[in-house]
Copies of this chain bind each other. A is one copy, B any other.
């Protein structure tokens, strides 16, 4: 990244000051809030900005304000999931939009491998960004602790198991969402309700299973519980396992839409009709839910509110406020699969 730089000399604040017939200080004041600037000077500055085409140099500004004016979006998931599961794209897109509103760019970084984690960690410690949006479902990733130690504001997406109260987060109310779905399945007259969970080291894996157990109580036999990894293939494998262990099941609550799509395929291959023989409920209400056949009954995660809260919580922390948490309500969306 070194080499001959293009010799396009951009106008500086000096040029604007000269063109407007005022000093640098006045230009700076006029542009940042306009406090204590006479109307005449303000107008002259704005005009000079227009004629010179001046845009403030972000590096110089950062240097003096000690602010990067940017934020990192760090993804610690295996990259396969990034483009298989639409959830990540939605989160990423949402955060980008939300940050754009306040003119803060988003830097995308990954931390899947050891090398990447080191690089990302060092990069963030260098002060390139003012805060971190951390999308990492599974616990036990040392990155979170590294970030916390470095003192940089962090907001996690989903409850950071083992760090509640220490690090800010925004999350859907997984547990009550799961309850909604299982109660719905019951109301459809199902009695052998199985579940495909997320990984047990993720908040979604734990909480959605807890919600399932809340409703079923003693009916939640081990035969009816299979663990998935949030991937489509994982959903297929878990469904196959359930069918072999409990061939008489008449409903499945799957902890993500993507896994549910996999489960649908396996049910189809086994000759079972959905929802006549087996009702299937998903979780997320991602774009997948409406593209399966039959369309998926699912629990809607309020992604837009989640991203909005994540950004808000992060900006608040950057302003110096202590970390907080936002738990957002979920909603049952009934379609053809139940």
Interface residues in chain A, defined as those with a beta carbon under 8 Å from any beta carbon in chain B: 1-6, 8, 10, 55-60, 62-63, 65-70, 73, 79, 82-84, 86, 88-90, 92-93, 96-97, 100, 102-110, 116, 119, 122-123, 125-128, 130, 151, 232, 261, 265, 268, 286-287, 291, 293, 315, 318-320
Contacts and interface: CB of A to CB of B under 8 A. Distances in A.
B56 A126 contact: yes
A291 B232 contact: yes
29 contacts: A1-B67, A1-B315, A2-B65, A2-B67, A3-B320, A6-B151, A6-B320, A55-B122, A55-B127, A57-B126, A58-B68, A58-B126, A58-B128, A59-B59, A59-B60, A59-B62, A79-B93, A82-B93, A83-B86, A84-B86, A93-B110, A96-B109, A103-B119, A105-B108, A105-B109, A107-B107, A107-B108, A232-B291, A261-B291
A28 B116 CA distance: 25
A291 B123 CA distance: 37
**Nearest 3 A/B pairs, CB to CB:** A83-B89, A59-B62, A3-B319
Given A67-B1, A103-B119, A108 B89 contact: no
B119 A110 contact: no
Contacts of A286: 83
A63 B59 contact: yes
Contacts of A5: 66-67
Given A8-B151, A58-B62, 9 more contacts: A1-B67, A1-B315, A2-B67, A3-B318, A58-B126, A84-B86, A96-B110, A107-B107, A108-B108
A106 B59 CA distance: 17
A119 B88 CA distance: 24
Given A3-B319, A59-B62, A107 B109 contact: no
Contact of A108 (B1, B84, B106): B106
A92 B66 CA distance: 29
A50 to B, nearest CB: 13
Contact of A127 (B10, B79, B108): B10
A122 B58 CA distance: 12
Contacts of A102: 1
